[in-house]
Amino acid sequence: MTQRTIITAILFTVASITATSSAMARDSIEVVGSSTVYPFSTVVAERYGRASGKPTPKIESTGSGGGMKLFCSGVGTNYPDITNSSRRMKASEYKLCQSNGVKEIIEVQIGYDGIVIANSIKVAPMKLTRKDIFLALAAQVPGEKEGELVDNPYSTWKQVNASLPNTAIEVLGPPPTSGTRDAFAELAMEGGCKKIAWIAALKKKDKSAYKAICHTVREDGRYIEAGENDNLIVQKLEANPAALGVFGFSFLDQNADKVQGSQIESVEPTFESIADKSYPVSRPLFFYVKKAHVGVVPGIQGFLNEFASEKAWGEEGYLAEKGMIPLPDAERKVMAANTRNLVPMTGKEALK
């Protein structure tokens, strides 16, 4: 008797689980994507949920690439509605989306994020150029002759540039899986790499070789992969004043009593310098919406309106308070109108 009850109970549990899971319409929005956009997206979701009284959107931090893959897998409630990205959608991803039936995609640029190279406030701030960064961190650097590459011989900053202090090169930064690392390689390292004439000329002839030179970070222990946790990097910088760290601007903003941003081409990373683009290492932040889901999953339109409102992404909005750098006024207005009217991408954008 008792055994029978137990067995029935188990069968019932299993059956009810399969039943509930197979026929389930979603009533909350699903967002995936970049860990850089995550802190901003979550704030908007929470505000939207509390103000509207509707279910709060669920936000997963999967990284930009992982988010695109999930997003482009198909249309229907089994797939996410929105993906965040700390770079623009790639042409290959757009194609993947199209081939899986995700035809109409709304692209929304929300603002900018700066990448800072910081050190402990116990020592003087560094004054770097992008070329210094490239020479200090690339796996291979130009040798004596033109066109020659040698394994990076530099061990102190002074060897890289005589005006820099005589301390050992030690940089803590994100691992290759991180969008921050991609952006750092593209904006800081490639930015410096281009300054060397023969490498810049190589770009036209052999793009992949050019990229390999400019984006490959040295692996001899001078660049230390510190995981995705930027708080950890801040802690380590505090303990080791000789080291530099690479992370997002919002962490610098929150820890101004512990770390300071290095000047790059004599521009300090501040809210203003990133907004007016005079600080060279900054990147745009995006999210992408499936138009087919608007109206099917309740609340998407409301969430978009909250995101595209002045009180959220405006110059004095709450996202700015969280460390996001807003778009310029004119661009923001156009973007807000596009978002509200659900204008999809045409497929003619210059995607990389």
Partner 1 sequence: MSKSVDNLEKIRKSLSRRNRAEKRFRFYGVTAVLIGLAAVMLLFTDIVSKGHGAFRIAYLQLDITYDQDLIGIDNLTDPQQLALGNWQAMPKVSLRNQFPDVSGRKDKRSLYGLVSNGAGFDLKDRLLENPLLLGDSETLWVLADDDIDTYYKSWLDGEPYDARLTAKQVAWIHELHDQGKIRLQFNSNLFTRGDSREPEQAGIRGAVMGSLLTLILTLLLSFPIGVSAAIYLEEFAPKNAWTDFIEVNINNLAAVPSIIFGLLGLAIFINFFHVPRSVPIVGGLVLTLMTLPTIIITSRAAIKSVPPSIREAALGMGASKYQMVLHHVLPLALPGMLTGAIIGMAQALGESAPLLMIGMVAFIVDIPGGFSDPATVLPVQIFLWADSPERAFIEKTSAAIMVLLSFLIIMNTSAVWLRKRLERRW
The footprint of partner 1 (CB under 8 A) covers: 3, 6, 10, 13-14, 17-18, 20-22, 24, 26, 28, 30, 35, 38-39, 41-43, 45-46, 49-53, 55-56, 58-61, 78, 228-231, 248, 250-251, 253-257, 316, 318, 322-323
Give the nearer residue to partner 1 in terms of CB position, either 92 or 231. 231
Instruction: Report in angstroms how near the CB of residue 148 gets to partner 1 at its nearest.
Output: 43
Give the nearer residue to partner 1 in terms of CB position, either 199 or 233. 233
Q: CA–CA separation, 59 vs 1, rounded Å? A: 46
Give the nearer residue to partner 1 in terms of CB position, either 45 or 75. 45
Give the nearer residue to partner 1 in terms of CB position, either 132 or 230. 230
Q: CA–CA separation, 263 vs 281, rounded Å? A: 11
Instruction: Report in angstroms how near the CB of residue 280 gets to partner 1 at its nearest.
Output: 22
Q: What is the DSSP string of 166-211?
A: S-B--EEE--TTSHHHHHIIIIIIHHHHTTSHHHHHHHHH-HHHHH
- For residue 149, count other CB atoms closer than 10 A to its CB: 13
Q: Roughly how many angstroms between the first and final C-alpha of the chain, as a whole number?
A: 67
Instruction: Report in angstroms how near the CB of residue 160 gets to partner 1 at its nearest.
Output: 30
Instruction: Report in angstroms how near the CB of residue 17 gets to partner 1 at its nearest.
Output: 5
Instruction: Report in angstroms how near the CB of residue 24 gets to partner 1 at its nearest.
Output: 6
Instruction: Report in angstroms how near the CB of residue 49 gets to partner 1 at its nearest.
Output: 6
Q: CA–CA separation, 79 vs 62, rounded Å? A: 14
Give the nearer residue to partner 1 in terms of CB position, either 52 or 163. 52
Q: CA–CA separation, 258 vs 214, rounded Å? A: 31
Give the nearer residue to partner 1 in terms of CB position, either 19 or 200. 19
Structure tokens belonging to residue 100: 């899986």
Pick the closest to residue 97 from 340, 289, 297 (CA basis).
Answer: 289
